[in-house]
Amino acid sequence: MGNNWFHFKQFTVLQDNTSFRVTTEACLFGALIETENHHNILDIGTGTGLLTLMLAQKTPDAQLYGVEIDPNSANLASINFENSPWKERLVVVNQDIATYSQEHLEQYDLVISNPPFYANSLKSNKEDRNRAMHNASLSHEQLSNSIDQLLTENGKAWVLLPPQEAINFKGWLNSKNLFVLQTLKIFNFKDKPIFREIVVLSKKQPLEVLIKEIIIYKNQKEYSEEFIQLLRPYYASLA
């Protein structure tokens, strides 16, 4: 079906005319998110619904909600949800998360986000790409506020960011009822700088912050064994 479709083992993502493309780090993020004992899941900035679909695959009894400000991407997420085996459990809302937080009293035991980033870099002349890649429509303050409002007392939040943006984001947590439980540092290659960082949050302060490192590629042509094991349930190319 061409480059506008990304085929996984159990679902397909239509990504036509959108800046929210399927990426390796987003797929790794979805595979890493722990869903055990989580039944009410919110994806902030769901894009075309990739992460929501990945979590639906491994949570047979969870209800999942994706909030997306970009109308085109929200429409694609709706199509992808409808075409999936879990359509009865998936909902997409075309709205900014600040408004959603104010209008919805319901809280979630798992909140995830792969939010816009590159706050200080030059913007393109395409508005949808600006929303996808910059935090003008979702600042770190707004994201931390929304997680604080929408997360249950015993829930967890998972956020994927570039390393500098992760530092900036964590700076906002001091004024919230949120604490870092775990940091997962993602490297493309063992000898390269950190590429992405996953921050796991809770409303309960831990005795110790866990730190883990994950390497995507063993060499230029091969994924690492850990990556293969994590993505095998999803990637059609991994038997």
Into how many domains does the chain fold?
A: 1
**pLDDT band, very low/low/confident/very high, at 17 (cuts 50, 70, 90):** low
Whether 206 is covered by a domain: the verdict is: yes
Whether 237 is covered by a domain: the verdict is: no
Tokens of 68: 């997306």
Whether 238 is covered by a domain: the verdict is: no
Nearest to 234 by CA among 17, 24, 4, 19: 24
Residue numbers of the domain that contains 138 = 5-231
* Whether the Cβ atoms of residue 66 and residue 46 lie closer than 8 Å to each other: yes
The size of the chain, in residues, is 239
**pLDDT band, very low/low/confident/very high, at 124 (cuts 50, 70, 90):** very low
Whether 12 is covered by a domain: the verdict is: yes
Cβ partners under 8 Å of residue 232, min gap 6: 238, 239
Q: Give the SS3 label for residue 163.
A: helix
User: In sequence order, what E strands does 56-178 have?
Assistant: 63-68, 90-94, 108-113, 151-161
Task: For residue 177, report the phi and psi dihedrals to the nearest 5 degrees.
Answer: -90, 50
pTM of the model: 0.90
Whether 143 is covered by a domain: the verdict is: yes
pLDDT tens digit sequence for 52-68: 999 999 999 999 999 99
Whether 119 shows a pLDDT value over 60: the answer reads no
The percentage of the chain sitting over the pLDDT mark of 70, rounded to a whole number, equals 88
Whether 19 shows a pLDDT value over 70: the answer reads no
Rounded CA-CA distance 16/13 in Å is: 9
Mean pLDDT of 97-109: 93
Whether 239 is covered by a domain: the verdict is: no
Q: What is the CATH number of the domain that holds 115?
A: 3.40.50.150
Whether 218 is covered by a domain: the verdict is: yes
